[in-house]
A and B are shown apart, each in its own frame.
Chain A
Amino acid sequence: MTTLWDTTGSAVVKELAAQRRTGGAVLSGVALTLVVVADESRVADAEEAATHAAEAHPCRVLVVVRRQIDAPTPRLDAEVLIGGRLGPGEAVVMRMYGRLGLHAESVVLPLLAADAPVVAWWHAAPPDRLATDALAVFADRRITDSSIAEDSLAALRTRAEDYAPGDTDLAWTRCTTWRSTLASSLDSVSGRRGEPVRVHGGRIEGDPKNASAQLLAGWLSSRGGCSITVAEGARTPGPSGVQSVVLQLDQDEEVRVEADRRGGAVISQPFRPDASVALPERPLGDLLSEELRRLDDDEPYSDALEAATRVTGLADHSPVREHVWFDPAEADGDDPPVPGPRRRAAAVKAASS
């Protein structure tokens, strides 16, 4: 590990290359570059999760921490690690001070693994419009986490309005275990009947302010073609925000899945005894790992987001984002933001799509 204080982007590139040469034996193939944008207070969490994910997906991890955007002199501190704290691959942790934070891409671009997909993950409140962060513009996949926001429902709506194919949210990833359990419960109903099942309605009990619970409701509504909402539950649910799900099916049948708060759930369905299944709340690293498994558009997510927020037409959003200049220093004043130079940072992406 090498730490470079008050350094430049080129020095970081050089150091990474030097460490690759000397530590060559620890390298494995790099399948993608993971750019992590984190708050100082969340860096440790983000690093842990990225390390976990890097074990399953060989990648280069670039952590960007923006600090003191109003500091008078821009400064870059960087840690270069190969096969160290941040997993088996290559990692660079960069702290950017002052106005450099607005130009993070100038440091990150030369550090991307050649011709490999780029995934950007905000383990922080993401900008309202992702296009105002150049790091989002060249990323092929963008992962946000609406559950971080204080008002996670407003955060979901923001994500829906700003949606572009290739966006995804960890609040959605948190639903996967619930979705999987629900889908296999209906499998077993249709298996017993030997004919299709229809969902006529349903109810989720849990935390209506939880983004995951809302996305689960959105998904069920979009798949079932009926409106399913989240009602305040009697107990405080886990991070997925869901305590129980009841689905009303055709033929007057009902399926109920209830979390037992011990990492499991009980499934009740007609003509079958109650069954217990594992339904754990997963650590951040597992969620991130799931996100890195596939890098193409996630249509079920956009359908669920659409249904959860009632913002329509997500599928028609352009997959290409163009960088929009945004300066928080100017936005704080009374003057409207002055449009700055618009740069086509997405040149490569635009040409390829």
Chain B
Amino acid sequence: MITNPLRDPRDRRLPRVPEPCALVVFGITGDLARKKLLPAVYDLANRGLLPTNFALLGFARRDWGDSEFAEISREAAREHARTPWREEVWEQLAADITFVQGSFDDDNAFDQLAATLGQLEGSHGIGGNAAFYLSIPPAMFPTVLKQMQRTGMAESTPERWRRVVVEKPFGEDLPSSRELNELVDSVFSADDVFRIDHYLGKETVQNLLALRFANTLFEPIWNGHHVDSVQITMAEDVGIGGRAGFYEKTGAARDVLQNHLLQLLALTAMEEPVEFSAEEIRTEKLKVLRAISLPEDLRTFAVRGQYEQGWLAGQRVKGYRQEEGVAEDSTTETFAAVRLGVETRRWAGVPFYLRTGKRLPRRVTEIALVFKRAPHLPFADTDTEELGNNQLVVRVQPDEGVTLKFGSKVPGSVMEVRDVSMDFLYGEQFTESSPEAYERLLLDVLLGDATLFPRNAEVEASWAVIDPLEEFWSGTSPHPYRAGEWGPRAAEEMLFSEDRRWRRP
């Protein structure tokens, strides 16, 4: 039934705009809120994608007046916004922003928050809909969630929706993530919980699924008959920045491997979903995550590393242990590489090599399918000496695109076959440099589109992969590597032992 005559399914110019709603941000004074959230809200407003009735409610301990808060958020939005700055858009938005001061264990503050939200229903016409963004350390979750339960803010009713957004990492191991999930699910219903992995842009997921399932070319060879191995890399050139406190407790495996790399693996290895919907895609991803197997020889196939002082991009950089706030004898890893298997008919026997690290030579995320060599080459051995494996590389960031690497004859009178690469670049608009990924995540939360967000079963299945690794690593020291290198020697040896080598991204 068409409830709005101006909506026409054939009309694909009109963007989807959320219903009137409020966005409540806990920890609005934090780094993430100022650098990502507020600018993303401004960008959405600037692009006309916010609902006609909208309110942003900030909650934090800091003692700020409304005008002080408005000024600070204006500066933050202005500095980090992606779209051009327009004062008039901000002014319209600023009228919708309210700040509530209080600490998370203060009952009065939450009563006031609930009251303010109630007032906004009337004064801003938000119709009772609200999304709560927990931009706070996970340790605070129980307090805040219990407060929300106490004040009845978390209840969705047929007349209104209430959603909650949780940032990765979701817990620190399987038991703690279960506990967190149970807690969140006891306050909100499972459909109303959105777990954000802001590394994984929606564009990336859609591009990858389009490449795999909209084409006939790739699917027939997307399996163990043709694929020799898969390498998934997420490299960062930066160090830990000012996040020593967080990172010391987390490490590369929990920070990136557990969520981002396993999600990319799931998208690469999953079967075709029955339809392009959140539920069906999650179902397929979950099957893959549950089918992941760990190598028996963890000593060789699960390597972690820690960067030492070195040179990167022409600058001398500190080692991890010399970073401020890091213990001198820290055994937290800044690099992790692991060989996983996916025990399905499609992928049995194909190794999936995953690696992530900080202070690697360049920032890059990519998925590389390395194909088997031709069973027979009708050329002389010397002709194909330089021919490697064919590769299909999906670049996730930067320069999102697809590269196909194959052999080609070197021009000239001598028969000589060498690798060349063919490149496709998605348009500039889609590249990661724009924080559009964040805008889209936020928009999806307000629209209630859950395609991108892993559900708790996925999170738990991912921890089930990471926990044995952490257990094996506990009490050992990571292999050192120099900042500016592609990880420790042991990671190279891990592939050498199977007659393979890492692709240099």
Contacts and interface: CB of A to CB of B under 8 A. Distances in A.
Given A29-B425, A56-B429, 9 more contacts: A28-B423, A55-B428, A57-B427, A179-B11, A186-B5, A186-B7, A196-B4, A273-B125, A299-B10
Contact of B5 (A177, A179, A197): A197
B427 A58 contact: yes
B123 A223 contact: no
A262 B3 contact: no
A273 B124 contact: yes
The listed residue with most B CB atoms (<10 A of its CB), out of A58, A264, A267, A275, is A275
B427 A223 contact: no
B273 to A, nearest CB: 24
Given A28-B401, A56-B428, A191-B19, A279 B88 contact: no
A195 to B, nearest CB: 7
B89 interface: yes
B5 A181 contact: no
A199 interface: yes
B93 to A, nearest CB: 8
A179 B88 CA distance: 21
Contact of A180 (B20, B48, B122): B48
B8 interface: yes
A312 interface: no
Contacts of A187: 4, 7, 17, 19
A300 B8 contact: yes
Interface string A273-284: 101111110000
A184 interface: yes
B52 A56 contact: no
Interface in B121-143: 122-125, 127
Interface string A221-242: 0011100000000000000000
Q: Which 6 A-B pairs have the closest CB atoms?
A: A272-B125, A28-B425, A276-B92, A29-B424, A184-B17, A183-B6
B7 A55 contact: no
A294 interface: yes
A66 to B, nearest CB: 30
B334 interface: no
A185 interface: yes
Interface string B1-45: 111111110111111010110000000000000000000000001
Interface of B: 1-8, 10-15, 17, 19-20, 45-48, 50-54, 86, 88-89, 92, 95, 122-125, 127, 401, 423-425, 427-429
Contacts of A199: 5-6
Nearest to B10: A299
B20 to A, nearest CB: 5
B404 to A, nearest CB: 11
A278 B92 contact: yes
B3 A195 contact: yes
A267 B54 CA distance: 12
Contact of A280 (B10, B51, B86): B86
B389 to A, nearest CB: 23
A162 interface: no
Contact of A275 (B12, B17, B46, B124): B124
Interface residues of A, number: 53
A57 B430 CA distance: 10
A294 B12 contact: yes
Given A28-B423, A267-B52, A277-B50, A197 B428 contact: no
Interface in A86-102: 88
Contacts of A198: 5
A180 B17 contact: yes
The listed residue with most A CB atoms (<10 A of its CB), out of B4, B48, B88, B124, is B4
Contacts of A29: 401, 423-425
Contacts of A177: 48
Contact of A277 (B8, B52, B428): B52
A188 B13 contact: no
B118 to A, nearest CB: 15
A257 to B, nearest CB: 9
Interface of A: 27-29, 31, 55-58, 88, 173, 176-177, 179-188, 190-192, 195-199, 220, 223-225, 262-264, 267, 269, 271-273, 275-280, 290, 294, 298-300
A173 to B, nearest CB: 8
B88 A188 contact: no
B5 A55 contact: no
Nearest to A196: B3
A173 B13 CA distance: 9
29 contacts: A28-B425, A179-B11, A180-B48, A181-B48, A182-B6, A187-B4, A187-B17, A187-B19, A188-B52, A188-B53, A191-B19, A191-B127, A192-B127, A195-B3, A196-B2, A263-B88, A263-B89, A264-B88, A264-B89, A267-B52, A272-B20, A273-B123, A275-B125, A276-B95, A278-B46, A280-B48, A298-B13, A299-B11, A300-B10
Nearest to A257: B52
A224 B5 contact: yes
Nearest to A294: B12
B436 to A, nearest CB: 12
B20 A191 contact: yes
A76 to B, nearest CB: 31
A190 B427 CA distance: 37
Contacts of B10: 299-300
Contacts of B3: 190, 195-197
Nearest to A192: B127
Contacts of A184: 17, 51-52
Contact of B88 (A28, A56, A262): A262
A223 B8 contact: yes
A183 B89 contact: no
B52 A179 contact: no
Contacts of A179: 6, 11, 13-14
A296 B28 CA distance: 44
Nearest to A194: B159
Given A188-B19, A192-B127, A264-B88, A275 B48 contact: no
B347 to A, nearest CB: 29
Given A263-B86, A267-B52, A88 B428 contact: yes
B500 to A, nearest CB: 29
A192 B54 CA distance: 14
A180 B5 CA distance: 13
Contacts of A220: 6
Contacts of A196: 1-4
B1 A277 contact: no
Contact of B427 (A55, A272, A298, A299): A55
Nearest to A299: B10
B408 to A, nearest CB: 14
Contacts of B127: 188, 191-192
